Chains A and B, each alone.
Chain A
Amino acid sequence: MMWNEMIESMSREEMRKLQSARLKHIVEHAYHNTPFYRKKMQEMDVTPADIQSIDDIVKLPFTVKQDLRDNYPFGLMATPMSEIVRLHASSGTTGKPIVVGYTRKDLSMWSEVVARCLTAYGASKNDIVQISYGYGLFTGGLGAHAGVEAIGGTVIPISSGNTEKQIQLMHDFGANILCCTPSYALYLAETIHASDIPLEEFKLRIGVFGAEPWTDNMRKELEEKLNIKAYDIYGLTEICGPGVGGECACQNGTHLWEDHFFPEIVDPATLQPVAPGEPGELVFTTLTKEGMPMLRYRTRDLTSLNYEKCACGRTAVRMNRILGRSDDMLIIRGVNVFPSQVESVLLEMPEFEPHYFIVVDRVNNTDTFQVQVELRPAYYSDEMNKVLALKKKIAARMQSVIGLQPDIKIVEPRSIERSMGKAKHVQDNRKLV
Chain B
Amino acid sequence: MLAKQLSIFLENKKGRFTEVAKILGEAGINMTAFTVSENSDFGILRLIVSDTEKAIAVLREQLYGVSVTDVVCLRCPNQPGSLGKAMDILTKNGIFVEYMYAFSQGDTANVIIRPDNLEKCVTVLTENKLELLAASDLYKL
Contacts A412-B10, A412-B11, A413-B63: A382 and B42 contacting too (C-beta < 8 A)? no
A12 interface hit (Cβ, 8 Å): no
Point out the residues of chain A lying under 8 angstroms from B41, CB to CB.
409-410
* Further 12 A-B residue pairs, CB within 8 A, beyond A382-B5, A412-B64: A380-B9, A380-B66, A381-B7, A381-B67, A382-B69, A383-B98, A383-B99, A388-B39, A412-B10, A412-B63, A413-B63, A415-B11
- Give Cα distance in the complex from A409 to B39, angstroms: 11
Contacts of B128 in A (CB 8 A): none
A387 at the interface (CB under 8 A from B): yes
Which residues of chain B are within 8 angstroms of A388 by Cβ–Cβ distance?
39
> Which residues of A have CB within 8 Å of B66?
380
Contact of B65 among A375, A383, A384, A409 (CB under 8 A): A375
The minimal Cβ–Cβ distance linking A112 to chain B, given in whole angstroms, is 46
Is A382 touching B114 in the complex (CB atoms < 8 A)? yes
Provide the residues of chain A in CB contact with B63, threshold 8 Å: 412-414
Bound: A414/B65 CA distance, A: 10
Residues of chain A lying within 8 A (CB to CB) of residue B5: 382
Contact with B along A366-394 (1 / 0, CB 8 A): 00000000010100111110011000000
- Residues in A with CB closer than 8 Å to B114 are 382
CA distance A411 to B64 in the complex (A): 10
- Please state if B67 and A382 are interface contacts (CB–CB under 8 Å): yes
- B23 CB–A CB distance under 8 Å: no
Most chain B CB neighbours (cut-off 10 Å) among A381, A383, A409, A410: A383
Say yes or no: is B91 at the interface (Cβ < 8 Å to chain A): no
* B109 lies within 8 A of chain A by Cβ: no
User: Residues of B with Cβ closer than 8 Å to A?
Assistant: 5, 7, 9-11, 37, 39, 41-42, 44, 46, 63-67, 69, 98-99, 114
Cα of A218 to Cα of B10 in the assembled complex, Å = 28
Instruction: Name the residue in A380, A411, A414 with the highest tally of chain B Cβ atoms < 10 Å from its Cβ.
Output: A380
The reply to whether B11 and A384 form a contact with Cβ atoms under 8 Å apart is no
**Closest approach, in angstroms, between the C-beta of B45 and any C-beta of chain A?**
10
Question: Across the A-B interface, how many residue pairs have beta carbons closer than 8 Å?
Answer: 45
Determine whether the beta carbon of A375 is less than 8 Å from that of B9.
Answer: yes
Q: Does A387 lie within 8 Å of B9, measured CB to CB?
A: yes
- Once the chains are docked, how many angstroms separate the CA of A182 from the CA of B123? 53
User: Do the beta carbons of A382 and B7 come within 8 Å of each other?
Assistant: yes
Contact A382 B44 (CB under 8 A): yes
Provide the bound-state CA to CA distance between A415 and B42, in Å: 14
Q: Is the CB of B39 within 8 A of A413?
A: no
22 residue pairs of the A-B complex, CB under 8 angstroms, read A380-B7, A380-B9, A381-B44, A381-B67, A382-B5, A382-B7, A382-B44, A382-B67, A382-B69, A382-B114, A383-B44, A383-B99, A384-B37, A384-B44, A387-B42, A411-B11, A412-B10, A412-B11, A412-B65, A413-B63, A413-B64, A414-B63
The 7 residue pairs across chains A and B that have the minimum distance between CB atoms:
A382-B7, A380-B65, A382-B69, A380-B67, A414-B63, A413-B63, A384-B37
Q: Which residues of B contact A411 (CB under 8 A)?
A: 11
Q: Which residues of chain A are within 8 angstroms of B10 by Cβ–Cβ distance? A: 412
Q: Closest Cβ of chain A: how far from B94's Cβ, in Å? A: 20
How far does the Cβ of B111 sit from chain A's closest Cβ, in whole Å? 16
Measured CA separation A231–B30 after assembly (Å): 51
**In the complex, chain B residues whose CB is within 8 Å of the CB of A375:** 9, 65
Tell me the minimal C-beta distance from A403 to chain B in angstroms: 24
Residues of B within 8 A of A410 (CB): 9, 41-42
- Chain B, residue nearest A376 (CB): B65
A384→B39 contact, CB < 8 A? yes
Give every chain A residue within 8 A of B69 (Cβ-Cβ). Answer: 382
Q: Which residue of A lies closest to B68 (CB)?
A: A382
CB distance from A157 to the nearest CB of B (A): 32
A415: B residues at CB distance < 8 A: 11
What's the nearest-Cβ distance from chain B to residue A190, in Å? 12
* Complex interface bits, A400-412 against B, C-beta within 8 A gives 1, otherwise 0: 0000000001111
Bound CA span A409–B41, Å:
7
Q: Give the CA-CA distance A410 to B10 in the complex, in Å.
A: 10
Bound-state CA distance A380–B46 (Å) is: 12
Closest A residue to B69 by CB, please name it: A382
